[in-house]
Structure 1
Amino acid sequence: MSMARFSPFELVLINSRSQVDTATLLLLAWVLVHRQHVSEGQRRRRLAQVTAQFRHGHELGPVMGIAHSQNLQAIQLAAEILRKECSPERSLSVIHQSIAVATDDGELSMANHYILRFLADLLNVTPTTLSTLFYELTGRPFSTPEDPSRHVYWEQHNPDYFTQKAREAAAEQQAREDAEEQARQKAQQREQKKQRKQQEKQRQQEEAQARQENTRQERARKQQRDEQQRRERARGEQAKHDQARRERAQGERRQWQRTSLPPDRTSRALAVLGLPPGASRSDVRIAYRRMAQLHHPDRFYTESEHKVALASARFQRIKNAYDYLMQTY
């Protein structure tokens, strides 16, 4: 059979590994040739990019040539292949790819506006789904031209008809509202009778609760007075205990000072570290580390506050003696 009997697109289909991919390729190319301000090289690169996973197995050049020639018979053949062979998932994928290649630069040409609607109708994709996909990809709504089959068109071009419809709807709404109002009034009367009975019962309960509340408040006031007296006694005892503890601490501090201070400052500092006169700088360091470990306040954190205070005072004397000796030696 002579190959001349086949059209260029039919020859491409014969050599294709996947006729569905080839048909999709032609329709995407059809969209690309209607892109404005795009060079031929950019169109071919974009087509190759978006169809990289296709299994057609042939060059893109012949398909782009068919798309440029606006061969409606080839486009119709590709559309019929997609209508018969595409699954719902593949149909959505084709629409997704078509929107992407039609709006790369953010602008949608008038021709591609109608091509997208044609493809959506061809693949049984609803206008709502098409608008949703378009908005998700571009961030802009998919504008809808005037269409006599739509309700909005007749609202604009035949206002008298819709005015009459609005009057009839208003009358029906008023009738419904009147019936609802009568039903509400009857229900309200029944509710009022019920509420009067409940109010009488509630009044009796409130009087009983008021008597119980007075009794509870009186008992609470008595408990509060007893608690306040107990706290005052506890504060007095605590104050006496704190005063005695401070006096003991002061006495022990004075005794410590009287027994631990040699005549001159250097001798006193050496005595605090437990060193004899003439000790070396190295002896001072060793003695300080030993005394600091022995008298550090952290060792007494489980003891009483008084012992912790005494330990802090001893440690401070050891630290002052060490600092003085390290500056003097």
Structure 2
Amino acid sequence: MSIARFSPFELLLLKSRSQVDTATLLLLGWVLVHRQHVSEGQRRRRLAQVTAQFRHGHELGPVMSIAHSQDLHAIQLAAEVVRKECSHERSLSVMHQAITVATDDGAISLANHYILRFLADLLNVTPATLGTLFQELTGKPLRPPEDPSRDAYWQAHDPGHYAQKAKEAAEAAEREKATRARAEQQQRAKADKQQEKKQKQQEKQQQKEHERHAKARAEQASAEQARAEKARAEQARQEQARRERQRQEQARQEEARQHHYRRTSSPPPPDRTTRALAVLGLTPGASKTDVRKAYRRMAQLHHPDRFYSESEHQVALASARFQRIKNAYDYLMQTY
């Protein structure tokens, strides 16, 4: 089948990602082209705003061109697609959008009176529901359209009427311009006041910052003085500890000399087993179980970790005692 046999709107439907969205676009565009005193750019922008969530996937220009051409075949095809595919909720949504684009400026054209009623009938929306939607969206009741066959219609729409409307619009524009000028003047005065207030706040903040820096410098000097005092105290403590170690070393050397003197002048020591039992606080004849119990008790009492808070000399003495206890235990466990 040749592609030339399809109409422009049929081609759009074939390319569309959502035919019901494309059909709804044409019907809304049909409403927009019957809006009075609206430029083409405004129509396209309004249509884009209302249908921003549509999934048709094509540009709006071809749709507006078909709507301007008043292609009744295309409009009829769009109406059939919408009537076939729309649920009740989607139908109400389409009517909502149609009323919105038909009454943006607060007025509704004669053609759109009939188009809205046509769409409502197409989508199975009752006249009462249509009236309710129109009232909710515009705040005005949907009145019957004017009859162009009556003289009253032409009297209301003669050139003088429009001239008066234009004059009123110009006067309203002047008033709005004057109001805007006053508002801008007030806004500038307000901005100047806010700027002055902001400048004062900045000066106050700078003063606070200066005071904060001065306080920080004072605190830093105090901290440095405290660190110096702490360093002096630490130096004095280390010096005292050095002297204490010297004293302990002298005491240890003296003890070693005394021990050596006792060893050279005392009778022969007992045998090794007896000495090992004595280290564990046992007497000859103790069993292997007694040795284990005595070792556990002595190890708990003399373990170096119990003296971690004491001086280095105390820790060294505890380590030596613990080593003697362990050596005695190891020897007895090998001998027994």
| TM-score normalised per structure 2 | 0.43
| TM-score normalised per structure 1 | 0.44
Larger Rg: 2
